[in-house]
A and B are shown apart, each in its own frame.
Chain A
Amino acid sequence: KAGVTQTPRYLIKTRGQQVTLSCSPISGHRSVSWYQQTPGQGLQFLFEYFSETQRNKGNFPGRFSGRQFSNSRSEMNVSTLELGDSALYLCASSLEGLAGGGGTGELFFGEGSRLTVL
Chain B
Amino acid sequence: DAKTTQPPSMDCAEGRAANLPCNHSTISGNEYVYWYRQIHSQGPQYIIHGLKNNETNEMASLIITEDRKSSTLILPHATLRDTAVYYCIVRVVGSGSARQLTFGSGTQLTVLP
Contact = CB atoms under 8 A, between A and B. Distances in A.
A107 interface: yes
Nearest to B45: A109
B94 A45 contact: no
Interface string A75-103: 00000000000001010100010111111
A42 B100 contact: no
Interface of A: 4, 33, 35, 42-45, 48, 55-56, 58, 88, 90, 92, 96, 98-112, 114
A90 B102 CA distance: 14
A108 B100 contact: no
Contacts, number: 75
Given A105-B93, A110-B43, A43 B103 contact: yes
A104 to B, nearest CB: 7
B105 to A, nearest CB: 6
A103 B49 CA distance: 13
B46 A45 contact: no
A2 to B, nearest CB: 14
**9 closest pairs, A vs B, by CB?**
A109-B43, A43-B103, A105-B93, A45-B100, A100-B96, A100-B94, A106-B46, A99-B98, A109-B44
Chain A CB within 10 A, most for which of B99, B100, B104, B106: B100
B43 A112 contact: yes
A105 B43 contact: no
